[in-house]
């Protein structure tokens, strides 16, 4: 992967994240700290994991050379997000931080090693692949949460309906 490839991948990530934000908006406000699916994270916990430990922390880690994800602290962060608006604001802030970090990434960071809390040998490219796969995996869980709450999720490919800043360029 080089910077040109990353630019295309990140633009698509931006649009997928717009769908993710719309999925969050489809979850009823009173369900963010409930377990709509037994033995899985609450929606708030999943957002902290996906937007924080995955999106923000991996993007910042690729830029800096060290992923500082603190998955053990996710529940504390999630419990502090008391409203639906808090959860969505957290997700948007994580996007802004990830986007700023990716703007600094060049070919050197993509080919260089990235220290991480998982004990894996990673370079920047592989870390970006993990970020992409994890976002899709957890976004799919949130689609299931929306349905379990009796609501309708957004159309998977409805990028044109995304919030401003997340629509196709």
Residue with tokens 């802004």: 96
Residues 128/1, Cβ–Cβ less than 8 Å: yes
78-99: per-residue pLDDT in tens? 999 999 999 999 999 999 999 9
97-128: per-residue pLDDT in tens? 999 999 999 999 999 999 999 999 999 999 99
Crossing angle between the packed helical segments 124-148 and 3-26, to the nearest 10 degrees: 20
User: What local confidence, expressed as pLDDT, does residue 55 receive?
Assistant: 99
Beta bridge pairs of residue 123: 113
92: its two tokens: 């948007």
User: What local confidence, expressed as pLDDT, does residue 34 receive?
Assistant: 97
3-161 carries CATH number 3.40.50.720: no
Compute the half-sphere exposure of residue 88: CA atoms within 13 Å on the CB side of its CA. 16
6-27: per-residue pLDDT in tens? 999 999 999 999 999 999 999 9
Residues 139/16, Cβ–Cβ less than 8 Å: yes
Whole-number mean pLDDT of the chain?
98
User: What local confidence, expressed as pLDDT, does residue 42 receive?
Assistant: 98
pTM over 0.85: yes
123-155 CB burial, b ≥16 within 10 A, e <16: ebbbbbebbbebbeebbebbbebbebbeeebbe
């Amino acid at each position: 992967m080089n910077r040109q490839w990353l630019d295309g991948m990140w633009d698509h990530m931006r649009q997928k994240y717009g769908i993710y934000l719309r999925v969050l908006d489809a979850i009823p406000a009173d369900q963010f700290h409930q377990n709509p699916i037994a033995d899985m994270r609450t929606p708030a916990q999943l957002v902290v994991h996906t937007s924080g430990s995955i999106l923000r922390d991996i993007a910042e880690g690729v830029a800096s050379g060290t992923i500082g994800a603190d998955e053990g602290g996710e529940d504390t962060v999630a419990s502090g997000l008391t409203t639906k608006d808090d959860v969505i604001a957290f997700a948007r802030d994580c996007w802004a931080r990830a986007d700023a970090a990716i703007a600094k990434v060049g070919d050197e960071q993509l080919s260089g090693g990235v220290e991480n809390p998982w004990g894996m040998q990673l370079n920047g490219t592989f870390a970006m692949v993990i970020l992409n796969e994890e976002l899709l995996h957890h976004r799919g869980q949130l689609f299931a949460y929306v349905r379990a709450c009796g609501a309708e999720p957004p159309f998977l490919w409805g990028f044109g309906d995304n919030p401003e800043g997340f629509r196709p360029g």
